[in-house]
Homo-oligomer: A and B are copies of this chain.
C-alpha cells in the first residue's frame, strides 16, 4: 500500500550515530515519512564499495525520536540496497545521504561513501542528494547545511525530476550573514597529491599512513571549488553514465581497432 506522505530514505557514511545524519533527519522529517538505514560504523573513503564476501547484519536502533532507524554492518551502498529490498519493499521518493562531516566536492565524489550511497539510489531511479559540510569535526555547526538540505529536499519532492537525478551538494563553513545561497556548478578538476608518512613498527617493519594535499588544477569558472570559496553551497549534478564522449570521439578518429 502506498503511503500518502513521500518516503524519504536517509543514509550516510559516518555512521548512524554521527551528528550530521541527526541534523539531516531533523531538517527534513516534516516533509515526509523518514526511514534511516545507515552504517553501524564510519565508512569514509569507501568509494562505491559493496559487500559480497561476507554476510550483512541489519538491526533496528532507537536513536531518533519518532523516526524508524536501522544500522547495517555494510557500506553506504549496501545500506541503500538493503533498505529497498528488506525494509521499504518499494522505491522511496527520494534518497538523502549525509550530512557528511567533511568535503566531497570536485574529485572527492569518487572516494566518497556519502556520494556512493546517493549514486546507488540514482542508479535504481531514485532521485538522490548527497550533502557534505566542509568541516570534519564532530562538533561541526550544521545549521546552514540543514537549511540547504531542507530547501533542496522540498524542491525535489515538489515536482517531477528527470530519472537518475543525482546531486552532490557541499556547504561552506561561513557565518550565516556571509552565506550566499546555492549555486549550480560543474565538478572542478582537482586531485590529491599523495605523500605517504613512512614509519617503522616496533618490530622494525615498514608501514605507511596515507596523507595528501588537495590540489585544484582547475583555473576555469563555474566549478564547485570556486563557488564554495565565494561562500555558496555548490550543487553539482552527477552522472551515472561514465562514458567519456570527448575521448570516444578522439578514439574513433585516431585509433583503427
Report A's interface with B, CB cutoff 8 A.
42, 44-53, 55-58, 77-78, 81-82, 84-86, 107, 109-111, 116, 119, 123-124, 155, 159, 162, 164-166, 168, 181-184, 186-187, 189, 191, 194-196, 198-199, 205-210, 235-244, 246-248, 250-252, 254-255, 257
Q: Which listed residue (B85, B119, B209) contacts A110, Cβ 8 A?
A: B119
A77 touches B47 (CB 8 A): yes
A195 touches B57 (CB 8 A): no
Q: Is the interface of A mostly helix, strand, loop or mixed?
A: mixed
A47 touches B116 (CB 8 A): yes
Q: Which listed residue (B45, B186, B208, B257) contacts A53, Cβ 8 A?
A: B45
Across the interface, which residues of B come within 8 angstroms of A82, CB to CB? 196, 208
Pairs across A and B, CB under 8 Å, 30 listed: A45-B50, A47-B116, A48-B48, A48-B111, A49-B111, A56-B196, A56-B210, A57-B205, A78-B210, A82-B196, A84-B194, A85-B194, A109-B242, A110-B242, A123-B191, A155-B255, A164-B247, A165-B247, A166-B247, A182-B257, A184-B255, A187-B243, A189-B241, A236-B243, A237-B244, A238-B244, A239-B239, A239-B242, A239-B244, A241-B244
A187 to B159, CA, bound (A): 29
* A86 → chain B closest CB, angstroms: 6
A208 touches B47 (CB 8 A): no
B56 touches A181 (CB 8 A): no
A86 touches B257 (CB 8 A): no
Across the interface, which residues of B come within 8 angstroms of A209, CB to CB? 55-56
Across the interface, which residues of B come within 8 angstroms of A243, CB to CB? 186-187, 236-239
Chain B: CB-nearest residue to A208: B56
* A151 → chain B closest CB, angstroms: 8
B186 touches A248 (CB 8 A): yes
Chain B: CB-nearest residue to A46: B49
* A53 → chain B closest CB, angstroms: 7
A244 touches B45 (CB 8 A): no
Chain B: CB-nearest residue to A124: B191
Q: Which listed residue (B48, B86, B183, B184) contacts A208, Cβ 8 A?
A: B86
Chain B: CB-nearest residue to A151: B257
